[in-house]
Amino acid sequence: MTRTTKAIRIASYGGPEVLKLEDVPRPVPGKGEVLIRVHAAGINPLDWKVREGHARSWLEHKLPLIPGWDVSGTVEALGEEVTGFKRGDAVYGLIDVTHDGAYAEYCVAKAKDLARKPVSCDHTTSASIPIACLSAWQSLFDVASLSEGQTVLIHAAAGGVGHFAVQLAKWKGAKVIGVCSNKNANFVKELGADQTIDYTTTRFEDAAKNVDVVLDTQGGETQARSWKTLKKGGMLVSTLGISSPQTAADYGVRAEAFFVHPDSEQLTRIATLIDTGKLKPVVSTTFPLKDAAKAHELSQSGHVRGKIVLRII
C-alpha cells in the first residue's frame, strides 16, 4: 500500500479557498533527488500568484499542485547518485518551482538546489530565507553588480526581499535608501538603511536622486516613477518585468527583469553570513499547515514585515 502524507493542494486556480488539506502519496526521490521531511515552508508572493493562475503565461504547472517552494527540513531518504548529504541532515533551499512544492509533510528536491541550513536558525526561520534572500542577492550582486560606495534605492524595504536586500547592500558597503511606511522606518534603519522614505507622505522620486541601482519588487506606477531617481548609466532591476524598455533608454539608464533561481553555493554563503551575525532573517508571522489560506490572505495584503512561514513540525 502506498504511504500517504498530508499536503496542501490546489485542484483549480482561484482564491485562498482552493487550498485544500489532503492525503496524498508520499513522494519518492529520483536520481539526484532527496526526500525531505518538511519542518517549515516559506510563504512568498509567487505562491499566491501561481494559485490564482497569474503565473501561467511564464510558468507551467500541472494540477493538482502542491504550492510553496521555500523549504527547511531534514533529509529522509536519498535518490540515486546523490552525494554530499546523508539521512538526518538539516537542509534548506529553493526547490524546483515547476513541480510540487513544500506545503506538505514530505517533499522531493534536487540535491543540487539544497544547502545545509544556518546552524543558528531553527527550521521556521530557515524556511523564510531561500527565495527572498536569493532574490536580493542575485538581483543586487549578480545582475546589478552593486559595489562598495554605490547608492541603492530599495522599494518595499521592510518586506520579504526588501529586508534582506537592505542588509546585503549595507554589508557590501553601499549607501542604502529604503522606501517603506513610517511605521516601518525604524525597523528598516535598524537593518542598516542610511535613509528611509515614507511613501505615504513623500514621493520617493523627489527625495532620491542620482542613485546607482533601484531594486523594484512593485512594478507598475512604482517602476514608472523610479526611472528619474537613477543617474545616467544606472540600473533598475525588477522582479516583475520591465514594462517600458524604451523609457529606460530615454532616461539613459539600464533595465533588467530578473527571476530567482536555486543556488546551493549562494545559500551556503548566506548561511555563513547569518551564523556570523551579519544577516538577520525576520519572520513576522507563522501558521500551521492547515491555515495556508490565512497565510496567503496575509501575504496578499501587501503589508508584511519580513516573512510569513508555515510550520509543519
d(CA 64, CA 13): 10
CB atoms within 10 A of CB 30: 11
d(CA 37, CA 7): 12
Has residue 262 been placed in a domain? no
Closest to 67 in 3D by CA, of 32, 41, 40? 41
pLDDT for 2 beyond 70: no
Same domain flag for 81 and 171? no
Which CATH number goes with the domain that contains 92? 3.90.180.10
Has residue 71 been placed in a domain? yes
What are the φ and ψ backbone dihedral angles of 144, each rounded to 5 degrees? -85, -10
Same domain flag for 47 and 139? no
* Cell 502524507 belongs to residue: 5
CB atoms within 10 A of CB 83: 8
Res 1: pLDDT:
40
Same domain flag for 152 and 210? yes
Average pLDDT over the chain, rounded to whole? 96
- % of the chain beyond a pLDDT of 70: 99
Has residue 266 been placed in a domain? no
Same domain flag for 16 and 90? yes
Same domain flag for 70 and 18? yes
Has residue 267 been placed in a domain? no
pLDDT one-digit tens code per residue, 79-99: 999 999 999 999 999 999 999
pLDDT one-digit tens code per residue, 137-173: 999 999 999 999 999 999 999 999 999 999 999 999 9
Give me the domain span that covers residue 100. 4-129+281-311
User: Could you tell me which residues come within 8 angstroms of residue 114 by beta carbon, excluding any fewer than 6 positions away?
Assistant: 34, 85, 91, 92, 93, 264, 267
Res 59: pLDDT:
81
Domain boundary among 241, 257, 273: 257
pTM of the model: 0.96
Same domain flag for 151 and 241? yes
